[in-house]
Amino acid sequence: MTPTSGPDDRLAPALRTEALEQLLTERGLIDPAAMDAIIATYETQVGPLNGAKVVARAWTDPQYKSRLLQDGTAAIAELGFTGPQGEHIVVVENTPTTHNVVVCTLCSCYPWPVLGLPPSWYKDPAYRSRVVREPRAVLSEMGLDLADGVRITVRDSTSEVRWLVLPERPAGTEHLTEEELVPLVTRDAMVGVAKVTAP
């Protein structure tokens, strides 16, 4: 699904970004401190870590899980995660027999407060069209092979509704605390293109 690239391909965008930032700074168009603050916000305050905290809380607190599945936006706000692109989030649960995967077929609508910025593959036209038509094949190409008996539901995010997947809690993690569970939860699992694995 994702094209392979060499080290030079990954380095080129980073170098171009650095050069652009330097040019804009030299011309007085941006403040480096402000840029650092924005980057830090998306790395530490807005992003997959927030979603992982939501998931870990749901795994360890049945009452919170019930509220999360009933009104995702309100339950997520309980943990302080709100903001643009998170005005209406619906949470769906993956189980041993049902698997949800999220896509935005029109553009790249995505729940920023809990997942941060969307990955490049999420915005790729191939993912956006194929996952609707052949979700099992696309998931397999991304490394997730589901049993034939598992029903796959594709959730289409829009500007009105954004989806978040509550992944299955992996077996063998019953003894872990909420804080210990957080690092196990990945962005891809909350989009539904991966599962959470035990440490």
Show which residues are catalytic: 104, 107-109
Q: Which two tokens stand for residue 61?
A: 């607190």
Alpha-carbon distance of 162 to 109, in angstroms, equals 7
* Distance, CA of 120 to chain centre: 12
Query: Could you tell me which of 67, 88, 84, 87 has the C-alpha nearest to residue 166?
Result: 67
Q: Per residue in 77-92, is it b (16+ CB within 10 Å) or e — as a string?
A: eeeebeeebbeebebb
Annotated binding-site residue? 104:
yes
CA distance 108 to 11: 25
The annotation status of 107 as a binding-site residue, yes or no, is yes
5 marked as binding residue: no
108 marked as part of a ligand binding site: yes
**Helix and strand totals (H; E) in the chain:** 11, 4
Question: Which residues contribute to the annotated binding site for Fe(3+)?
Answer: 104, 107-109
Question: Which residues contribute to the annotated binding site?
Answer: 104, 107-109
